[in-house]
Amino acid sequence: MAMQQWLLRSCVACLLLNGAFGDLENGAFGWDGWNTTEVQELVASTKQGARRLKSQRIKQRDYHNYGRAVAELAEALSPDRLKKLANDYRQAYASADPFPHVMIDNMFPESTLRLLSKELPEETKIGSKCWVKAGQCYARTNARGGQADPNEFLKSALENEATMGIHTKVVFDFLKGSAFVRFLEDLSGITEIIADPHYRGSGVHVTSPGGMLRVHSDFNTYAAYKLRRRVNSFIFLNDRWPDKYGGHLELWNRNMSSCRQRIAPSWGRFVAFSSNDFSYHGHPEPLTAPDGRFRRSLALYYYTQGAPKEDCIGGDCDTWSGTKWQSPKCGKSCLDPACNGLPGSGRVDAVKDVLSHLYTKPLGGAPDSRKSPSDVAALKTKRIIHNPRPQEKRSEGSLKIDQDKREKRHETNQAHFPNATKNTQ
């Protein structure tokens, strides 16, 4: 009997794994012995075992994917690679307008981004426009007209590490680690940086469709530790995000008269900038992404003991201040023509600049010495006119060879076209 049960259990397991058990249970194979209590109990236990086996296989696959992703992340953020990135971008960071910042694409491996995206689903809570995993959601309205908060609206935040996904916590651990902190020090020139240990204002940020964040400068002090906020960092997680969805990070000058940068929240893009009392930034235009799409990012902030006086209002770096909301003097956002202070002075000039870089080569290695397409065409024409092929300098032997070739071509043509006129000129 034990042998029969073993054989039956084995057959049922095989059928379950191959998806054919439903046909067998319905009598497709001509056996009606499934109705006995003993067989039914055996089948039930076998089904449970098959489900448990399938669950174990899924877990093993997930563990394998997580392990491989962590290994790829460790390689991408290795001390050697981070040191090279800091060297490559240090000058650009220091000279960036309107305040020191950098944008780096392809810094994180695709496997890391995919797992992060999986752990941050683009869903809302039932009966709400807030993100499904939000610990905080800025969806307040005033009591009079029910209007949205003018500073931040439909922005959700997840700051509780206990409710974060495994890989999200792993990525934050890397961002807080010694190698990454040293990278930020080398990149920014700011020494003795300390990573935020408790996600104060940082963590996972998600903006729902219609959401916005008014231009502002951030709170400047971590009061509990008497630390000064110095660097903000972001990793954007928005796959297939066309420009029309919005959500661009805008950077403004000190007197709020001009928007100097407009950075798309593209997939895997890393952005870092120096934070002080004048680093005005935000995404003030309401998000125009369709339902089911959210502007997602990881944010982490970094601090030091004190700050230079030029980073503080009135040179006073000992006074704590919270978020300082700003109103542009020229309009509302980068999209207002009066506020457009972007490099290239507009879209047309930007396109011309790209074309000139594509169709010309730098002279002497200086980027600003590139010639325009019209100059290149004129130069080519000049070379053709002033440098004709020097026939007079060729030897008589070389000319004789050319004459023989023409004679031979003529004889061949004459054979096919008897009426052709001989031309040996």
**Mean local confidence (pLDDT), 31-54:** 60
Task: Decide: 302 and 185 in contact? Cβ < 8 Å.
Answer: no
Locate the DSSP E strands across 275-388: 280-283, 295-304, 324-325
Question: Exposure pattern of 293-320 as b/e (b: 16+ CB <10 Å)?
Answer: bbbbbbbbbbbbeebeeebbeeeebeee
Residue 281 amino acid letter: H
Question: Exposure pattern of 17-39 as b/e (b: 16+ CB <10 Å)?
Answer: eeeebeebeeeeeeeeeeeeeee
* Measured distance CA(385)–CA(232) in Å, rounded: 58
pLDDT digits (tens, 9 = 90+) for 333-380: 999 999 988 886 443 344 334 434 443 333 333 333 344 444 444 444
* Measured distance CA(164)–CA(177) in Å, rounded: 18
Q: Is the pLDDT of residue 232 over 80?
A: yes
**Mean local confidence (pLDDT), 261-274:** 98
Q: How confident is the model at residue 69 (pLDDT cuts 50, 70, 90)?
A: confident
Mean pLDDT of the residues in the chain? 80
Query: How many CA atoms within 13 Å lie on the side-chain side of 171?
Result: 31
